[in-house]
Chain A
Amino acid sequence: MTRRVLLAVSAGFLLAGVQAAHGQRGSERGFRSADLEPCDAHHDRGRIAQAAECYRLVLRGGDPAAQAEAHWQLGDLKSANDRFREAVRLDPENPDLRVRWGHLYIHSHQQQEAATLFQEALEIDEDHIPAQLGMARVLASRFEGKAVELVEEALEERPRQAEGHLLLARMALEEGDLEAARESLESALRNARDLGMAPLETYSLLASLEMLEGDPDNDWVSKALEYNPRYGEVYSDQAHFYVITRRYREATERLRRAVDVAPRLWRAHAELGVNLMREGHDEQGRRHLEIAYEGDPYSAKTVNTLRLLDTYDRFETFASGDPEGPEGPRAFVRLDREESDLLLPYVLDLTERAIAEFSAKYQFELQRPVRVELYPNHDDFAVRTMAMPGIGLLGVTFGYVVAMDSPTGREPGGFHWGTTLWHELAHVFTLESTDHLVPRWYSEGISMYEEWKADPRWGEAVTPEYIDAVRKGELLPVADLDRGFIRPRYPGQVAVSYMQAGYVCQHIAGHWGEAKLVELLQGFAKDRPTGANIREVLGIAPEEFDKQFGAYMKQELGAAYDGLPRWRRRLKAALEAAREKDWEGVLEPAREAREAYPQHVGTGSSYSLLASAHNELDNREAAIEQLQEYERRGGRQPATLRKLARWLEEAGRDDEAAYTYHGLLYNWPQDEETHVRLGELYLEAGRTALARREFEAVLALDPLDRASAEYNLARAYVKIGDLAKARLHVLRALERAPTYRPALQLLLQVKR
């Protein structure tokens, strides 16, 4: 939808008061009419009634750009949009008008439209500093590294400004580089004073800076509120940085203050609503989101979150353990009713196992039950992660609330829900045991490490991109590793940083012992910075740690460190031979490819090729060996793993087949055959409770052959010794298929 249409179709609304948008409106964000200055002065000081009266007077003038600004400040965004359009029509070569219009779009949450207008301004004047800065603001809001570059260029061109310094400060704060942020803010403060600009945003960021240094109620908060008693942004900015550092409880408290000071600060209401939901307080969250929507219907975040709340009646919540018992439940699982019968046993089991294991290892008892939410519709889950830095997320943890995609919402093999849930539940412990003070890199590192520890088949395998980053020296120093998560400098840096963080933890556990991981966590709980914590706990300078880690990484990668070119070459030869069905010809290049990069288990892995070749050459044992190695290294293609399980069954290796089928449950639980076969193998092995679970899962999948599914469940109940349930299920089987002989025989057995 174009910007023109979008605003035209939205209901126009005129608020009695003045919109909260303060300071820095001047030439650094595009030139504005001098007629607005007295109004802005009232506005920046929080004299709302006077400001509104003044802006209304501007509306009577003949300058459409000034009228647009006045409409904007009065809260009538539709009219503001119309007047900007008219102003641009009358003066199409004026880049400032487009920049101002772009900022209106930023205000109304339409970053892409804003970027288009800034780009148009730059096409008119490629050196237009406000347009460059506007573009940088859009990129910064998306956590894109290019933003820094643009701002630095603008500052080089025009050093005497506040906007560029403020943008740099904001980004430095997001990355946790407090020293750089302070430097930028001092420049911003000096320049704002020299240029006669309102210092509110500078005060606000200084207040955030000192909050991140441990003093939330610092002098800058007071200064901002003295300057403008209605300046709620000072608190909502602080909340933003708390959210970035995943301190949601503290963010909620700041946002409550923001809306107390400025009840019309709609985005603070929206943030408060979303944040309350992150803490599991859905109804309180809804109230603030509804207030936000009334005042600002343009926010996709508000609208989508309200829509998500409306879908919650489709979900059902289940408690783990015995909620009536003395300890109460340790977790709640929220699942879509359509899939709860299938997923619940597995999700509960894994959640309980993770809680038990992490409680012991990290010496932390949960203070309240964890809530795990699985969304079959990815868009619903995506609403939960909106405006958060990171790559295409699979799961997210907000302290005691974990939200993630459900496996049924994804393609088979594309999403390993087991490893994802394990990863997120590790976050619950790293976040809560440190009161959310753990740096992002360490929390992610522990989660990655715990995935690898939980099961050799889980976690991420080393990618060529990571190997390239190691070889090119692109890994970040451990003390700066957080930067790789917030604002990546090159494509793929976030994924590389995840893996690096995992390996850092693995290296620490291997070299210093796992107990040091816990000690580091305890150090972070004391708000110790990464460098100091490494020094204190490991007794080594962070720079020295980086050197050691480099050597460790090279050793860990082994042949793959410099094997990628050979791997690509030999894999290509093996694939070509396979295409020609020259199975003998596949063996040698595939073996060489495997030796060059043994960690590769992605599409077209040498293990799969070797397995196919051996199988075609009637060497099933060798084929199985290849696929077992593929599985052990984290290969996840369901069709390949199912083939392995079938081959193992055919070879009479039932225990190994059951291991493989069991692994598939965490990858592709909606596969009927896996449950049926696993149920049979469990039944055969006398593991009757597990067999029952698998046959119940088959029924939950609403199978075509329901009679067999009921019959199998009845067999499991017979073995368990629960003849009443066995009778019920065999009757259900026969009700559908009265002449089903094995079921008739079972009925006779049950009744005799």
Chain B
Amino acid sequence: MIRRQIPGLSLTGLFAALWLAVPLPAVAATHFIVVEGLGGTRGYTERFRNQVEKMLPVLRRTAGRDSLVHVLAGTEATGGRIGAVFEELRRAVAPGDALAVFLIGHGSHDGRHYKFNIPGPDFTDDQLKGWLDAVPAARQLVVSTTSSSGGALETLKSPRRIVVTATRNGRERNATVFGQYWVEAFSAASADTDKNESISALEAFRYAESKVKAHYADNKQLATEHPQIQGERAGGFLLARLGAAAELARDPEKRELLDQREELERRIADLTLRKDDLPQNEYLDALQALLLELAELQERIDADGGSARGEKQ
């Protein structure tokens, strides 16, 4: 006989599920700024350009309006232009809105300050902090995929901000691969771990982090970057909608059914919170009943709208 334990549902997993399931306050709009820094070589320039090009359609779809996505690349990505965009947002953004900033390129750290490489003088973490602080959005996300980006973590820390960096600190100076996987996460079904057909900042981070780790292991290289995330509720910061979710979001006729589904999800979350207090069979039966209800509701959503459905690829 083989002695084996049947793995149970871990508490960590449960909390993660709940965390992602708990509805977050609706935001009026999400504003995106994408800055493509200097590549230095043709290879890096092409790589950064590709990453930005892959990200833009996704962000535009998430934002709902192209005007909410600001892109600064090539000669446009100067300190002056970037500052001007932040200034514009400082005036346009409402406190209930969200702001996400993506820095794609190379970075450096001089022992005191993180710098992002752009045409003309580089901007520092202090400057970036000033720009961000001035924008009233209550929910902010800053992602730097550059070398040395971890050097900005401390400076950018804020209760209303999630900060994602490719490196652990400013001393990790080698060019990174994090950006490539961060962008890949926006369209990867396996990054959508709660299967809600949306990719949150937390899901994208976890996906990219695991891919970076695998990248160095596969290539038998010592890892020269260790991605970091700081700040709370990254699971609720929506970055991308996949497939049907994107279409549903634009379909007002579905609203009632979607509200019912949201209510069911809330009840499931409540139940999972009480999991440890219930006998296992009772818990599973109750969970199954709610899920069957949800499954039937989902069939109605899928049948009524005629939207493309099915398993994501």
Contact = CB atoms under 8 A, between A and B. Distances in A.
Do A and B share a complex? yes
Interface of A: 316, 318-320, 322-324, 340-341, 344, 348, 411-414, 638-639, 699, 704-708, 727-728, 731-732, 734-745, 747-748, 751
B303 to A, nearest CB: 12
B26 interface: no
Most chain B CB inside 10 Å of its own CB: which residue of A318, A414, A734: A734
Nearest to A732: B9
B207 A704 contact: yes
A704 B195 contact: no
Contact of B17 (A322, A727, A736, A747): A736
Interface in B242-263: 261
A378 to B, nearest CB: 16
Contacts of B207: 704
Contacts of A732: 9
A704 B193 contact: yes
B199 interface: no
A747 B288 contact: yes
Given A316-B3, A323-B1, A747-B291, A737 B193 contact: yes
Nearest first, the 10 A-B pairs at minimum CB distance are A740-B195, A737-B195, A744-B295, A705-B190, A736-B17, A737-B194, A742-B311, A738-B268, A748-B295, A739-B196
Contacts, number: 113
A572 B302 CA distance: 59
Contacts of B210: 704
Nearest to B6: A728
A133 to B, nearest CB: 44
B193 A744 contact: no
A2 B63 CA distance: 65
A735 B295 contact: no
Contact of B265 (A344, A707, A738, A747): A738
A738 B4 contact: no
Contact of B294 (A318, A320, A638, A744): A744
Chain B interface: which size bin? 35 or more
B46 interface: no
A735 B4 contact: no
Contacts of A735: 9, 14, 17, 268, 272, 287
A182 B9 CA distance: 68
A751 B268 contact: no
The DSSP consensus for interface residues of chain B is helix
A402 B118 CA distance: 59
Contacts of B193: 704-707, 736-737
A344 B298 contact: no
B7 A741 contact: no
B2 A739 contact: no
10 contacts: A319-B2, A348-B2, A704-B207, A704-B210, A735-B17, A735-B272, A737-B195, A739-B298, A740-B195, A744-B291
Interface in B264-313: 264-265, 268, 272, 284, 287-288, 291-292, 294-296, 298-299, 302, 309-311
Contacts of B294: 738-739, 744
Interface string B1-41: 11110010100011011000100000000000000000000
Most chain A CB inside 10 Å of its own CB: which residue of B9, B195, B264: B195
A749 to B, nearest CB: 10
Interface in B199-222: 206-207, 210, 217-220
Contacts of A319: 1-3
A340 to B, nearest CB: 8
B256 to A, nearest CB: 16
B20 to A, nearest CB: 8
A670 to B, nearest CB: 9
B232 interface: no
A430 to B, nearest CB: 28
Contacts of B184: none
B309 A741 contact: yes
B292 A341 contact: no
A255 to B, nearest CB: 34
A600 to B, nearest CB: 19
A318 B292 contact: no
B197 interface: yes
A413 B219 CA distance: 10
A708 B190 contact: yes
Contacts of B3: 316, 318-319
A569 B192 CA distance: 49
A323 B2 CA distance: 9
Given A731-B291, A747-B295, A748-B295, A736 B310 contact: no
B288 A727 contact: yes
Given A638-B218, A705-B190, A731-B291, 18 more contacts: A411-B220, A705-B192, A705-B193, A706-B193, A727-B284, A734-B291, A735-B17, A735-B268, A736-B13, A737-B195, A738-B294, A742-B310, A744-B291, A744-B295, A744-B298, A745-B295, A747-B291, A748-B296
B7 A739 contact: no
A414 B220 contact: yes
A698 to B, nearest CB: 11
A320 B3 CA distance: 10
A737 B17 contact: yes
A728 B207 CA distance: 26
Contact of A739 (B9, B195, B220): B195
Contacts of A736: 13, 16-17, 193-195
